[in-house]
Amino acid sequence: MFVDTAFMYMIGCLLMIKMYQTRHPDVNAHAHSAYCFIALIVFMGVMGVVCLPFAYLIICHCLR
C-alpha cells in the first residue's frame, strides 16, 4: 500500500516539475536530483514509522 502512494507522489512531483519547465524554459531541474530529493522525503517518512519516534525527532531537529 505504501509503495503505491510513494509512486503516486513521485509522479505528481515529476509532473509538477515538467509543467514548471514548460512555463519557464530557462529553469532546468535534472531528473536525478528530483528523484534523489523525492527518495529522501520518502526515506524520512519511512524512518519516522520504523524507528523510535523520539530518536527520529531528535535527528530531524538536528538536520534542520
Contact 23, 30 (CB under 8 A): no
How much is the average pLDDT of 40-61?
Answer: 78
pLDDT tens for 5-25 read 778 878 888 888 888 888 888
**Could you give the count of Cα atoms lying within 13 Å of 40 in the half-sphere of its Cβ?**
8
pLDDT at residue 21, rounded to an integer: 84
Neighbour count for residue 25 (Cβ, 10 Å): 7
The model's pTM: 0.57
Pairwise pLDDT comparison (6 vs 41), residue with the higher score = 41
Q: What is the residue extent of each domain of the chain?
A: 2-63
Residues with Cβ within 8 Å of 6's Cβ and at least 6 positions away in sequence, in order, are 42
Which amino acid makes up residue 19? Answer: M
Contact 27, 43 (CB under 8 A): no
